[in-house]
């Protein structure tokens, strides 16, 4: 239930700055690290979103996961603050086996949606997450099975031009 009298606090998304990350030590660990993108990750979506566009994340859940996030935003924000408009934030929570979806419009987070027919993420296992942009909603698929949908809260889909990924996940491919 949303409390309209009190706006929820803006959460911080902390991303390492250049030079804060350690260097690979070599050997097999270095080869594995080179196959994975650095998480937390923030990247540009060329041309923004539009109906028919699909965002794909191929990754592996960490061995001892807590949660991970995938967010589609209007602009990159800063290393400490998300932008005021987030079209979709997916939060995969392992402790309670939920996939929480919500949006932030003008700096205000809306109500979260949690219902999913199954929880597809398994620790230490690979997955393929697809977010399909449609005219009125996003549809989310994991390993080819539809997991959920989320009605658009932002109307300017073309302005949704950045993807953020953070948490207990390794990313091997984006498309």
CA angle 54, 59, 64 (to 5 degrees): 140
What percent of the chain has a predicted confidence (pLDDT) above 70?
A: 79
User: pLDDT-derived band of residue 28, with 50, 70 and 90 as boundaries?
Assistant: very low
3-state secondary structure of 160: coil
pTM of the predicted model over 0.85: no
Show the tokens assigned to 148: 């959920």
Looking at residue 37, what DSSP letter applies? Answer: B
Mean local confidence (pLDDT), 114-138? 97
Sorted by where each begins, the domain ranges of the chain are 47-174
Looking at residue 32, what DSSP letter applies? Answer: H
Show the tokens assigned to 149: 């949908």
CATH of 47-174 among 2.60.120.200, 3.20.20.220, 2.120.10.70, 3.40.228.10: 2.60.120.200
Q: Is the pLDDT of residue 159 over 70?
A: yes
Average pLDDT of the chain to the nearest whole number: 84
| Residues 79-119: tens digit of each pLDDT | 767 788 999 999 999 999 999 999 999 999 999 999 999 99
Query: Which has more confidence, 30 or 104?
Result: 104
Q: Which of 45, 81, 61, 68 is nearest to 166 (CA)?
A: 68
Residue 136 in contact with residue 27, Cβ under 8 Å?
no
Residue 70 in contact with residue 90, Cβ under 8 Å?
yes
């Amino acid at each position: 239930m949303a409390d309209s009298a009190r706006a929820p606090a803006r959460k911080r998304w902390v991303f390492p700055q250049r030079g804060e990350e350690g260097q690979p030590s070599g050997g097999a660990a270095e080869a594995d690290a080179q196959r994975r993108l650095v998480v937390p990750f923030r990247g540009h979506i060329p041309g923004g979103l539009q109906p028919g566009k699909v965002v794909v994340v191929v990754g592996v859940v960490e061995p001892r996961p807590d949660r991970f996030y995938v967010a589609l935003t209007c602009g990159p924000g800063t290393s400490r603050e998300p932008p005021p408009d987030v079209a979709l934030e997916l939060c995969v929570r392992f402790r309670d086996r939920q996939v929480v979806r919500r949006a932030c419009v003008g700096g205000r987070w809306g109500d979260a949606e949690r219902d999913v027919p199954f929880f597809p993420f398994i620790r230490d296992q690979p997955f393929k997450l697809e977010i399909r942009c449609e005219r009125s909603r996003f549809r989310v698929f994991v390993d080819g099975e539809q997991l959920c949908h989320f009605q658009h809260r932002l109307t300017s889909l073309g302005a949704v031009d950045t993807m953020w990924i953070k948490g207990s996940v390794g990313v091997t491919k984006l498309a």
